[in-house]
């Protein structure tokens, strides 16, 4: 592996930034999204569409000259027909915050015995310099999924978002009750990063081998 590749993480979510710093450490040099770059409206109907919207927006803001990684993720609850899904960050309203989103999910799910859910993460990596004439960038997509159940009350202070109510399949603890490293080993984000790295194998991304 060559020198770490600088990559701008196109997110304002501090929880995600912390996880990417751990997950990408050896291969990429993680850089924050400059304050001058705004974040776009997430108008897509899928995680992939929104990840691409965020990645392209940041890529353009940075002049198309820097590698950019965007993450669109969320929780899909079986008994709620997959909701909140792409609406996970704004489930209880724009700017409502993690505690309000968790409270709304617990309230909606209260009558249901079926507590199955899954976290989904789609990553969009944009690299400067396409391969064909007129092709301005190279685009790589990767997805990761983590199956589990929604607990009836929050437990733990780690992680972010819905972690205190999400218990991965086969676990006794929620994602907020374990170390970051334990979460990374199974998480939708950890799996998406592993998939992305597989897709990049053979590409001239990491410099000389």
- Could you list the residues that contact ligand ITT (CB under 6 A)? 11-13, 16, 39, 42, 54, 71-75, 88-89, 101, 119, 159-163, 187, 189
**Cβ-based nearer residue to ligand ITT, 127 or 144:** 144
Q: How far is the CB of 26 from ligand ITT (least distance, A)?
A: 21
In angstroms, what is the minimal distance from the CB of 46 to ligand ITT?
A: 12
Residue 95 gets the label, from left (phi > 0), alpha (psi -120 to 50) or beta, of left
Distance in Å, CB of 113 to ligand ITT, minimum: 23
Catalytic residue among 71, 72, 114, 135: 72
Distance from C-alpha of 119 to C-alpha of 176, rounded to nearest angstrom: 14
User: Is residue 72 among the annotated active site residues?
Assistant: yes
Question: φ, ψ for residue 72 (rounded to 5)?
Answer: -120, 130
Residue nearest ligand ITT, Cβ-based:
161
Q: Which is nearer to ligand ITT, 140 or 162 (CB)?
A: 162
Helices first, then strands: H and E counts in the chain: 5, 6
Alpha-carbon torsion (88, 92, 96, 102), positive or negative: negative
- Please state at what angle helix 188-200 crosses helix 14-24, rounded to 10 degrees: 50
Tell me the catalytic residues: 72
């Amino acid at each position: 592996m060559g020198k770490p590749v600088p990559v701008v993480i196109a997110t304002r979510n501090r929880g995600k930034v912390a996880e990417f710093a751990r997950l990408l450490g050896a291969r990429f040099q993680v850089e924050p999204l400059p304050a001058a770059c705004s974040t776009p409206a997430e108008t897509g109907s899928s995680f992939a569409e929104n990840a691409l919207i965020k990645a392209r927006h940041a890529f353009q803001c940075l002049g198309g000259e820097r590698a950019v990684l965007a993450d669109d993720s969320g929780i899909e609850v079986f008994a709620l027909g997959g909701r909140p899904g792409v609406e996970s960050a704004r489930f209880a309203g724009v700017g409502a915050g993690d505690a309000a989103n968790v409270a709304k999910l617990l309230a909606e799910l209260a009558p249901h015995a079926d507590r199955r859910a899954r976290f989904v993460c789609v990553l969009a990596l944009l690299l400067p310099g396409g391969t064909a004439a007129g092709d301005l960038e190279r685009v790589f997509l990767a997805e990761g999924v983590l199956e589990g159940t929604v607990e009836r009350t929050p437990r733990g202070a780690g992680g972010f978002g819905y972690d205190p109510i999400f218990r991965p399949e086969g676990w006794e603890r929620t994602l907020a009750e374990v170390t970051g490293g334990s979460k990374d080993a199974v998480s939708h984000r950890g799996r998406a990063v592993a998939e992305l790295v597989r897709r990049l194998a053979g590409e001239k991304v990491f410099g000389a081998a």
